[in-house]
Amino acid sequence: MAAIQRRGGSRRRASADINVVPYIDVMLVLLVIFMVAAPIVNPAVVDLPSVANATQQQKAPPIVVTVHEDGALTARGKDNAGTSFERKLDKQGLIDFVHQRQNENPDQPVVIAADRSVKYEAVLDVMSVLKADGVKRVGLMVKPK
């Protein structure tokens, strides 16, 4: 006897594909949870060692170099004895003066102050001259708002 065939000739097969959409949903939820929780976690406290006989380092007051509108330079500050000084100098005199001061105190910073009317080129010129002659700590003075 002949077997009865179904029309269409195919049987329904079980799908072997894995549905990954729920796994992606779980991963996105975990990502959001970690992003929210990360800022809340406090950093670990570092227990630093202590020193019994530490000597306090003295900060040297900076040498303030003022660039005037006419190009003149003025250096002012305090020496090691605490007395204030102010000198009008040219560029070479400024370099010599800063080297003399930094021989006494090598970590003494130099701060350049200038009025708004002074061209930025003049300020950069003084800064580059000091940097080229080996002055390590040169900065700009600004007025807080």
In order, the DSSP letters of 32-61 are: HHHHHHTTTSPPPPP-----SSPPPPPPPP
Give the pLDDT score at 128. Answer: 92
Give the closest residue to 139 by CA, choosing from 59, 63, 60, 58. Answer: 63
Per residue in 96-144, pLDDT tens?
988 888 888 888 889 999 888 888 898 899 999 999 988 888 988 877 7
Q: What percent of the chain has pLDDT over 70?
A: 82
Domains of the chain, each with CATH number or no CATH: 63-140 (3.30.420.270)
Give the pLDDT score at 54. Answer: 66
Q: How far apart are CA 77 and CA 60, in angstroms?
A: 10
Give the closest residue to 94 by CA, choosing from 60, 128, 141, 120. Answer: 128
